[in-house]
């Protein structure tokens, strides 16, 4: 029987789970032979297979369903790109160092830990005022800017924890890992901190692939890097981590509605809105249609991706009661963002942000347009001409021709052909300047303000340019994997007998093929069955060792193989095997020839175990007595 999950249950099971994670190499610290490096983990066979499966299902659930353009951009990213995106200046944590040993600490973390220790140690002796102050600081410290942090560290006399030495003043430490590309150009570059920038940079190419139309989405699955000051929590805060991101480009005038959202208006999802947080209340289920109508979620496009994210998480095996979507506070969001929600999953360490869903407005496309001078825009096409205020430029062509001679024509042609937004820029420029120099075909030509007039006209246009807005769902694959593992972990009546109740499509290996006793005739059957499963691309694990069947089941249970096929005496006469499901340990008897297709359909979610139970006779087993 599955236990109801909550933080306490998860915490209680964690020790047993940690042992399994290590013993079965689900994931483990990297470079242990060399003493290890904090924040770097290697996925072993079980963890790697689950990772591949949740990525593959992410492709089905998001990329195929929404016809997204999946790309694979590079990790190496030249500095100017990340300067434009804001990462060079703002992708930082506040660092403090031990003034004598030089050891570095994340400022918010060291403040929190010190104050928590003081509260734990001195308790009521602190006095109510001091304790309240400490708790207030702990709550807000991760939002403190450099000056405020300095002030608090001085005021509360925070010291280096190991030595008690003074700390340096907090200073921003950039979390990107730097490198240098090339032997002679020596191009400063970073390892990308997110996969998003690659999609923004390819916006124009992808727009072209979509026939110039928005909305459309780009997607990317790949690694991000963050030079964490204090990595911790296993896969929760790593220096190298797998992400899956979508950048969904929409016309800002159209993002309020999203056609496919209609089918989810009655879907109930636990939301922790800004208001609920302000009122210090818990998350509560909302019908998604209502949440948009009430203005809790900014627009249907964002709400649609919240729904799809929720359904994805449930489908891959996250317990629905341990999921909530928490809205960012106004001061927590980036200034350009109009709304932002985190999918949080309750784990043994509490609620953990696993997916971020942000409305990034036009920020990123704008940033790269400004940095490169290349317009990253789409066009809104009208079926019937629309009246629009258009700025037109009237040039004194005669005077220009006189002044510039034959260059005059070039200047006139160039200025008249300026796109609308640049005409607007020019009109603004002339409010404070008297002349403007254009470089035309390599020649600097000067346009005098006196020779230009601007006129607002209403014209009928067939299209207009705009910068798309972006809705960005960003998934942390490692965090989601850790959540799946925690939620799927179970112990039978004998707590030594542990198993994972993975969703079959996520399970690292789809089935095991076991022999009830060692027997050469059984081995032949196992070989043939294995071959026919592999032909369908189904992973399976055989075990024909001379140990009790119960022990073989325990081994495959421990890594969460959902289905076990057992070859026994009857197999040779009746051409059938038993098929066992991991959670219930119930078994049915199935003709051998039907086994590969059953496993294939179970693991791709086309049928459920209950379908198998209704179709085939139950087999009364005694194999659990190992």
608 Cβ contact partners less than 8 Å away, ≥ 6 residues apart? 602
Give yes or no for residue 67 binding a copy of itself (CB under 8 A).
yes
CB of 242 to a copy of itself, least distance (A): 8
d(CA 542, CA 534): 12
Residues in the chain: 626
Q: State the DSSP string of 422-438.
A: HHHHHHHHTTT-SEEEE
CB of 31 to a copy of itself, least distance (A): 6
Closest to a copy of itself by CB, 222 vs 317, is 222
Instruction: Return the ∠ at Cα 153 (arms to 147 and 158), rounded to 5°.
Output: 160
- Give the C-alpha distances (Å, rounded to integers) separating 363 from 201, 337, 367, 424: 13, 8, 6, 20
CB of 472 to a copy of itself, least distance (A): 18
Give yes or no for residue 444 binding a copy of itself (CB under 8 A).
no
81 token code pair: 């790109």
Binding to a copy of itself in span 117-136, by CB under 8 A? none
Give yes or no for residue 548 binding a copy of itself (CB under 8 A).
no
Q: Determine contact, residues 92/147, Cβ cutoff 8 Å.
A: no
Binding to a copy of itself in span 515-544, by CB under 8 A? 534, 536-539, 541
CB of 405 to a copy of itself, least distance (A): 34
Binding to a copy of itself in span 147-176, by CB under 8 A? 173
Give yes or no for residue 49 binding a copy of itself (CB under 8 A).
yes
Among 43, 258, 286, 499, binds a copy of itself (CB under 8 A): 43
Count of residues of this chain found to bind a copy of itself when the rule CB under 8 A is applied: 84
Give yes or no for residue 179 binding a copy of itself (CB under 8 A).
yes
d(CA 176, CA 193): 6
Binding to a copy of itself in span 133-152, by CB under 8 A? none
CB of 381 to a copy of itself, least distance (A): 14
CB of 178 to a copy of itself, least distance (A): 6
Q: Determine contact, residues 477/244, Cβ cutoff 8 Å.
A: yes
Among 9, 132, 223, 524, binds a copy of itself (CB under 8 A): 223
Among 11, 88, 103, 166, binds a copy of itself (CB under 8 A): 103
CB contact burial 40-49 (16+ within 10 A = b; e otherwise): ebebbebbbb
345 token code pair: 């999953």
Closest to a copy of itself by CB, 173 vs 430, is 173
DSSP state of 231: -
Closest to a copy of itself by CB, 149 vs 297, is 149
Which residue's entry shows tokens 């590969």?
A: 596
Give yes or no for residue 273 binding a copy of itself (CB under 8 A).
no
Beta partners for residue 439, in sequence order: 444
CB of 183 to a copy of itself, least distance (A): 4
* Phi and psi angles of residue 562, each rounded to the nearest 5 degrees, phi first: -70, -30
Among 37, 395, 410, 548, binds a copy of itself (CB under 8 A): 37
d(CA 319, CA 270): 12
* Phi and psi angles of residue 188, each rounded to the nearest 5 degrees, phi first: -70, 135
Give yes or no for residue 604 binding a copy of itself (CB under 8 A).
yes
Binding to a copy of itself in span 359-418, by CB under 8 A? 368, 371-372, 374
CB of 458 to a copy of itself, least distance (A): 31
CB of 295 to a copy of itself, least distance (A): 31
Give yes or no for residue 607 binding a copy of itself (CB under 8 A).
no
Among 5, 111, 191, 236, binds a copy of itself (CB under 8 A): 191
Give yes or no for residue 87 binding a copy of itself (CB under 8 A).
no
Among 88, 126, 177, 440, binds a copy of itself (CB under 8 A): 177
Q: Which stretch binds a copy of itself (CB under 8 A): 27-35, 247-255, 332-340, 490-498?
A: 27-35
CB of 233 to a copy of itself, least distance (A): 17
Q: Which stretch binds a copy of itself (CB under 8 A): 45-53, 162-170, 324-332, 561-569?
A: 45-53
Give yes or no for residue 47 binding a copy of itself (CB under 8 A).
yes
Among 112, 114, 168, 227, binds a copy of itself (CB under 8 A): 227
Instruction: Find, among 593, 570, 585, 576, the residue nearest to 620 by Cα.
Output: 585
CB of 568 to a copy of itself, least distance (A): 23
316 token code pair: 């891959």
Give residue 473's Cα distance to chain centre. Answer: 6
Closest to a copy of itself by CB, 6 vs 209, is 209
Closest to a copy of itself by CB, 48 vs 138, is 48
Among 3, 56, 392, 450, binds a copy of itself (CB under 8 A): 56
Instruction: Find, among 473, 472, 471, 474, the residue nearest to 255 by Cα.
Output: 471
d(CA 181, CA 184): 9
Q: Which stretch binds a copy of itself (CB under 8 A): 75-83, 138-146, 285-293, 418-426?
A: 75-83
Closest to a copy of itself by CB, 374 vs 398, is 374
Q: Which stretch binds a copy of itself (CB under 8 A): 73-81, 309-317, 345-353, 406-414?
A: 73-81
Give yes or no for residue 102 binding a copy of itself (CB under 8 A).
yes
Q: Quick check: bond before 386 cis, omega within 30? A: no
Instruction: Return the ∠ at Cα 162 (arms to 156 and 164), rounded to 5°.
Output: 45
Q: Determine contact, residues 607/618, Cβ cutoff 8 Å.
A: no
542 token code pair: 């055989």
Closest to a copy of itself by CB, 10 vs 533, is 533
3-state secondary structure string across 92-118: EEEEEEECCCCCEEEHHHHHHHHHHHH
Binding to a copy of itself in span 194-213, by CB under 8 A? 198, 201-202, 205-206, 208-209
CB contact burial 131-163 (16+ within 10 A = b; e otherwise): bebbeebbeebeebeeeebbebbeeeebebeee
325 Cβ contact partners less than 8 Å away, ≥ 6 residues apart? 269, 270, 271, 272, 283, 306, 310, 341, 342, 343, 344, 357
Give yes or no for residue 188 binding a copy of itself (CB under 8 A).
no
Give yes or no for residue 69 binding a copy of itself (CB under 8 A).
yes
Q: Which stretch binds a copy of itself (CB under 8 A): 2-10, 41-49, 109-117, 453-461?
A: 41-49
d(CA 375, CA 373): 6
Closest to a copy of itself by CB, 446 vs 527, is 527
d(CA 25, CA 18): 10
Q: At what angle do helices 520-535 and 595-603 cross, to 10 degrees?
A: 50
């Amino acid at each position: 029987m599955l236990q109801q999950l909550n933080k306490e249950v998860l915490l209680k099971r964690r020790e047993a789970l940690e042992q399994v994670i290590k013993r079965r190499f689900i994931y483990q610290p990297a470079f242990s032979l060399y003493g290890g490096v904090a924040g770097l983990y290697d996925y072993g066979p079980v963890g790697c297979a689950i990772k591949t499966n949740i990525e593959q299902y992410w492709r089905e659930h998001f990329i195929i369903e929404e016809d997204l353009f999946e790309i694979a951009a590079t990790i190496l990213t030249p500095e100017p790109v990340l300067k434009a995106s804001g990462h060079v200046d703002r992708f930082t944590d506040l660092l403090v160092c031990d003034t004598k040993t030089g050891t570095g600490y994340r400022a918010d973390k060291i403040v929190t830990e010190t104050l928590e220790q003081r509260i734990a140690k001195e308790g009521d002796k602190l006095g109510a005022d001091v304790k309240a102050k400490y708790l207030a600081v702990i709550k807000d410290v991760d939002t403190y800017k450099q000056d405020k942090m300095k002030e608090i560290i001085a005021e509360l006399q925070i010291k280096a924890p190991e030595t008690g030495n003074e700390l340096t003043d907090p200073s921003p430490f950039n979390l990107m890992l730097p490198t240098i590309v090339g032997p002679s150009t020596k191009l400063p570059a970073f390892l990308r901190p997110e996969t998003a920038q690659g999609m923004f940079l390819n916006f124009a190419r992808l727009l072209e692939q979509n026939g110039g139309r928005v909305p459309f989405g780009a997607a990317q699955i790949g690694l991000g890097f963050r030079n964490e000051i204090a990595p911790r929590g296993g896969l929760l805060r790593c220096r190298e981590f797998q992400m899956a991101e979508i950048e969904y480009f929409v016309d800002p005038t159209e993002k309020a509605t999203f056609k496919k959202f209609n089918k989810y208006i009655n879907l109930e999802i636990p939301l922790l809105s800004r208001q609920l947080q302000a009122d210090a209340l818990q998350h509560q289920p909302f019908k998604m249609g209502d949440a948009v109508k009430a203005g809790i979620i900014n627009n249907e496009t964002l709400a649609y991706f919240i729904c799809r994210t929720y359904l994805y998480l449930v489908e891959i095996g996250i317990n629905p009661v341990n999921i909530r979507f928490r809205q960012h506070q106004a001061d927590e969001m980036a200034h350009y963002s109009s709304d932002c929600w985190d999918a949080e999953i309750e784990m043994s360490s509490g609620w953990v942000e696993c997916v971020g869903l942000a409305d990034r407005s036009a920020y990123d496309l704008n940033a790269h347009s400004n940095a490169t001078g290349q317009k990253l825009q789409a066009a809104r096409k009208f079926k019937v001409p629309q009246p629009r205020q258009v700025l037109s430029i009237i040039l004194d062509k005669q005077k220009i021709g006189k002044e510039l001679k034959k260059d005059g024509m070039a200047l006139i042609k160039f200025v008249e052909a300026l796109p609308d937004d640049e005409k607007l820029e020019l009109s603004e420029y002339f409010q404070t300047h008297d002349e403007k120099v254009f470089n035309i075909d390599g020649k600097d030509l000067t346009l005098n303000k006196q020779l230009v007039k601007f006129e607002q006209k209403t014209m009928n246009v067939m299209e207009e340019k705009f910068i798309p807005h972006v809705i960005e769902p960003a998934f942390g694959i490692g965090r989601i994997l850790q959540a799946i593992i925690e939620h799927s972990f179970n112990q039978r009546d004998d707590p030594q007998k542990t198993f994972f109740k993975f969703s079959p499509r996520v399970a690292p290996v789809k089935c095991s093929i076991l022999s009830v006793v060692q027997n050469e005739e059984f081995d032949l059957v196992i070989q043939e069955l294995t071959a026919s499963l592999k032909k369908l691309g189904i992973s399976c694990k055989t075990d024909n060792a001379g140990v009790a069947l119960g022990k073989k089941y325990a081994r495959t249970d421990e890594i969460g193989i959902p289905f076990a096929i057992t070859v026994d005496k009857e197999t040779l006469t009746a051409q059938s095997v038993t098929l066992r499901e991991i959670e219930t340990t119930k078994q049915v008897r199935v003709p051998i020839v039907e086994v590969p297709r059953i496993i294939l359909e179970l693991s791709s979610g086309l049928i459920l175990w209950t379908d198998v139970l209704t179709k085939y006779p139950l087999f009364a087993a005694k194999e659990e007595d190992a």
